[in-house]
């Protein structure tokens, strides 16, 4: 059963800090939730609409002030309700995730994202839902989709450490070792005490080097095939050319032999 991780409650809207704390050694298959306080603080309530008439370069005539205030308050109330519905959908997705119904949870998280797509203050909940979708795809073994969802979460919140870590894990499962190392390095930048990221980097470096050398050999093999098809017309082959690897730089030099 996956471990559910909840966001810590904030003290008040005036004291709220960043909602994505970095914790060393956490398990990345948990998923995030936004507290009710955070959601309600995101958009001002209709009865608290500001009385300030300063609208920048736009001039509001006295006869239009009442209509302007009403329109502004209606929009604020609509956004607040959208955030509430989004949070409800996310919570339903969390329940489905706990029950192992990952496909159904994916739909709830997507719905939660879509209904607040145009709400400026919805960045956090959308980022969380993309990360939760990534967790679902990870459970389903769809690692490429996991990477895509983590990337979307990071576009909304570049310092979302759990999304970076989860993407790095997905890259490793696809044997994208260099990409995984890059993500784990980013995790260490965000949290230098993260032992999981440090151990992963140490473990993957030799695998990345081995894969890189294998790719070089495969490329050389393909070049040889192409070269033989051309040189054969002149009675030569690539065997007339010797490639010597420089042990210091890893580069190759080519010499012709009759």
Checking if the pLDDT of 71 tops 90, the result is no
| C-alpha to C-alpha distance for 51 and 121, rounded to whole angstroms | 20
- What six digits make up the tokens of 133? 């979708």
Lowest-confidence range among 43-57, 80-94, 140-154, 171-185? 43-57
The arithmetic mean of pLDDT across residues 141-148, rounded, is 98
Residue 250: what pLDDT?
Answer: 74
- Which residue has better confidence, 26 or 88? 88
Residue 61: what pLDDT?
Answer: 56
Does residue 128 sit in the same domain as residue 227? no
Give per-residue pLDDT as tens, 130-142.
999 999 999 999 9
Does residue 231 sit in the same domain as residue 179? no
Residue 3: what pLDDT?
Answer: 38
Residue 252: what pLDDT?
Answer: 75
Contact criterion met (CB below 8 Å) for 204 and 197? no
Does residue 180 sit in the same domain as residue 220? no
Residue 8: what pLDDT?
Answer: 33
Does residue 160 sit in the same domain as residue 219? no
Checking if the pLDDT of 49 tops 70, the result is no
Does residue 109 sit in the same domain as residue 228? no
- What six digits make up the tokens of 79? 């956004």
Q: What is the dihedral of CA 99, 100, 102, 103, to 10 degrees?
A: -90
Does residue 57 sit in the same domain as residue 130? yes
Closest CA to 255 of 247, 246, 243, 245: 243
Does residue 43 sit in the same domain as residue 164? yes
Q: Is residue 5 domain-resident?
A: no
Q: Tell me the pLDDT band of 238, cut-offs 50, 70 and 90.
A: low
Does residue 105 sit in the same domain as residue 222? no
- Which residue has better confidence, 193 or 215? 193
Q: Is residue 205 domain-resident?
A: no
Task: Tell me which residue range forms the domain holding 241.
Answer: 215-256
The arithmetic mean of pLDDT across residues 82-93, rounded, is 96
Give per-residue pLDDT as tens, 1-13.
343 444 433 333 3
Alpha carbon of residue 30 to chain centroid: 15
Q: Is residue 181 domain-resident?
A: yes
Residue 37: what pLDDT?
Answer: 35
- Rg of the chain over Cα atoms, rounded to whole angstroms, equals 27
The arithmetic mean of pLDDT across residues 13-39, rounded, is 41
Q: Which residue has the tokens 């459970």?
A: 139
Conformation bin of residue 250: beta by default, left when phi > 0, alpha when psi is -120 to 50:
left
Q: Which residue has the tokens 């730089």?
A: 249
Cα four-point dihedral sign 25, 30, 35, 41: positive
Does residue 225 sit in the same domain as residue 169? no
Last residue of a domain, one of 193, 226, 245: 193
| C-alpha to C-alpha distance for 113 and 44, rounded to whole angstroms | 20
- Ranked by mean pLDDT, the top range of 4-18, 42-56, 135-149 is 135-149
Q: Is residue 70 domain-resident?
A: yes
- Which residue has better confidence, 243 or 6? 243
CATH number assigned to the domain comprising residue 187: 1.25.40.10
Q: What is the mean pLDDT of the chain?
A: 77
List of E strands, the chain: 241-245, 252-256
- What six digits make up the tokens of 206? 């030799």
Q: Is residue 207 domain-resident?
A: no
Q: Which helix (H) or strand (E) holds 170?
A: helix 161-173
Helical ranges in 18-122 per DSSP H: 36-42, 62-98, 102-114
Residue 11 to residues 153, 187, 222, 225, Cα–Cα distance (Å): 25, 27, 62, 68
pTM, full prediction: 0.62
Give per-residue pLDDT as tens, 113-124.
999 999 999 999
């Amino acid at each position: 059963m996956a471990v559910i991780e909840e966001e810590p409650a904030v003290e008040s809207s005036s004291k709220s800090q960043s909602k994505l704390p970095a914790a060393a050694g956490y398990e990345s298959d948990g998923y995030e939730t936004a507290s009710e306080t955070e959601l309600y603080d995101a958009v001002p309530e209709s009865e608290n609409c500001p009385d300030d008439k300063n609208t920048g370069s736009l001039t509001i005539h006295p006869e239009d002030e009442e209509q302007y205030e009403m329109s502004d308050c209606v929009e604020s109330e609509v956004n607040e309700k959208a955030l509430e519905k989004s949070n409800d959908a996310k919570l339903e997705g969390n329940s489905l995730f706990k029950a192992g119904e990952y496909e159904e949870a994916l739909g709830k998280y997507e719905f939660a994202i879509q209904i607040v797509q145009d709400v400026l203050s919805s960045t956090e909940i959308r980022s969380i839902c993309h990360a939760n979708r990534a967790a679902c795809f990870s459970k389903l073994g769809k690692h490429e989709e996991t990477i895509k969802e983590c990337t979307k979460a990071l576009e909304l919140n570049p310092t979302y450490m759990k999304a970076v870590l989860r993407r790095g894990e997905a890259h490793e499962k696809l044997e994208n070792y260099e990409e995984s190392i890059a993500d784990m390095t980013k995790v260490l930048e965000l949290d230098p005490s993260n032992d999981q990221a440090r151990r992963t980097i140490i473990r993957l470096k030799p695998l990345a080097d081995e894969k890189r050398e294998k790719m070089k050999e495969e490329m050389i093999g393909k070049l040889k095939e192409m070269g033989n098809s051309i040189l054969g017309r002149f009675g030569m082959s690539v065997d007339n050319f010797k490639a010597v690897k420089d042990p210091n730089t890893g580069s190759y030099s080519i010499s012709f032999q009759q």
